[in-house]
Amino acid sequence: MTVRELNPGDMKFIDRWRLLTLIVLAGGLLGVRAGTPAIAFTVSASTNLLTQNNPVTYTFTLTNNLGANLDNLVVTNTFSSPVTVTNYYTPQGTGSLVYVTITNSFIFDLGNLLYPTNRLQFYLTVVPQSLGLVTNSVVLTSTGTNVVATNLVTQVVNAQADLSVFVTSLVPVAYPNDWLTCGFTVSNAGPGNVTSVMLTNTLPAGLGLLGVPTGQTYTIVSNTVWFSLGTLNSGASQAFQLLLQPTNSGAYPLNFSAGAPGLLDPYTNNNTVITNLTVTSYPATLLVAVTNSGQVLDRQNGLLEQSIGVTNAGPGNAPAVRVIVTGLTHWLFNATGTNNGNPYVVCPAPLNTNQGVSLLLQYYVTNRSSFAFSNGQLQAYAVARPNLKPTAATGFSTNHNLLITRLANGRMLLAFPAQTGSNYTLIYADNVLFSNAQTVQPPVLLAPTNSIQWIDYGPPGTASQPTNSPRRFYRVYRNP
């Protein structure tokens, strides 16, 4: 028998024959055993949906029933976006692993696979580095020829959670240039914690943003206000307020939306809320306001007090009276609102044509000395009657040992122990059943210490003088 060396041309012929045989056998044209595939290669992922910074494990199973050894086996994993490899395993003793970071590929170099080989299993665990769909394109090759190719798609989400936004407070009636607050809350009902939460609010033309009283940092792009909430844990919420100023009467739609990149939210219908701010014009009637007393220091409360008179010159009746005080350099203590930067008080009682009413202005002045003031600083308007009906007292505490004293000037002094820093609501009525109860103005009393004193001096604090009623009854609630 003559043996000769194989030249390079012979080797090329043998390699071509081997590749052709591999392709034919892998295609099932040469049977090995009835019902048994020549090459069985499966890939599975531990999940097709995962949250950010969590791993996914790919399991590879390879069986060789080809009838011949498989040479130079390589399994290439090419990812559509960057991943970090955290673990891998292969029992193939002659194999080698190559991790190519530039092409986002992880390569199993398994070497030769003997015949027969049943259930050669190896694993790869990675952590995707970006949100969205991550495709792992898996290709099995032998001696440079593709045998099997498949794609596994995994969705990477920020979190699975139900974000919602809802409006908590908005004034029912406003007038041009009023400073008003709109309160709203963003909540996460879970189950996951959501990162990079964003809240947007679109401001319509004619509605200016003066600030955010709740202190959150924001940016404005065109007419949209952006809040970056960071991470909102499951069950958590954040409350917001916007300080707004409408320049004209009309309806101003407010659009609030909450979301996060890559969020899988099962209930997207509560991610956006739209509400209308209604701004009306002042009723057409002429109100004239003048001072009718000097400034007197009340030693009971430490405030400078000054009485003003408002007369309705017609032609229409005023449901309620608003007096804006301009040019002040001191704090108008009993103000209930602000218009174009100027504080105002409201008498919540109607004023018909040719009728008049007296209102008390209270100033906080550090040196408790009188200051220059003119009638030109008073601007009176007819406004809608404010709704001062008390809300249901559910969850409010009324055990405050309220002490009521009638003063020599007819005013009523109310005193009660309080919890420092808490808010209190004080209501009054002219009958013991409180069927016509109203809240005092301003409607919320803040306890600076462990007790509160409040004086009923009549308008604008209450709708009428306490001396106008045979009896006046009071209740106080600590707000929850």
pLDDT by residue (tens digit) across 128-148? 999 999 999 999 998 867 788
Count of CB atoms within 10 A of residue 121's CB? Answer: 13
CA–CA gap between residue 115 and residue 133 (Å, rounded): 38
Per-residue pLDDT band at 470 (split at 50, 70, 90):
confident
474 — pLDDT class (breaks 50, 70, 90): very high
Q: Which of these, 68, 63, 61, 135, lies nearest to 105 by C-alpha position?
A: 135
| Fold of the 8-157 domain | Immunoglobulin-like (2.60.40)
Instruction: Give me the pLDDT at residue 102, please.
Output: 56
d(CA 479, CA 426): 10
Position 7 scores a pLDDT of 41
Domain 286-383 has CATH 2.130.10: no
Q: What pLDDT does residue 306 have?
A: 97
Phi-psi region of 327 (alpha: psi -120 to 50; beta: other; left: phi over 0): left
| Mean of pLDDT values over 428-438 | 90
What is the per-residue pLDDT for 135? 96
With 90 as the cut, is the pLDDT of residue 428 above it?
yes
Of 51, 100, 47, 49, nearest to 77 by C-alpha is: 100
pLDDT above 50: residue 406: yes
Mean pLDDT within 214-224: 92
What is the model's pLDDT at position 68? 80
- Token readout for 112 is 């030769």
- According to CATH, the superfamily of the domain at 159-279 is ntegrin, alpha v. Chain A, domain 3 (2.60.40.1510)
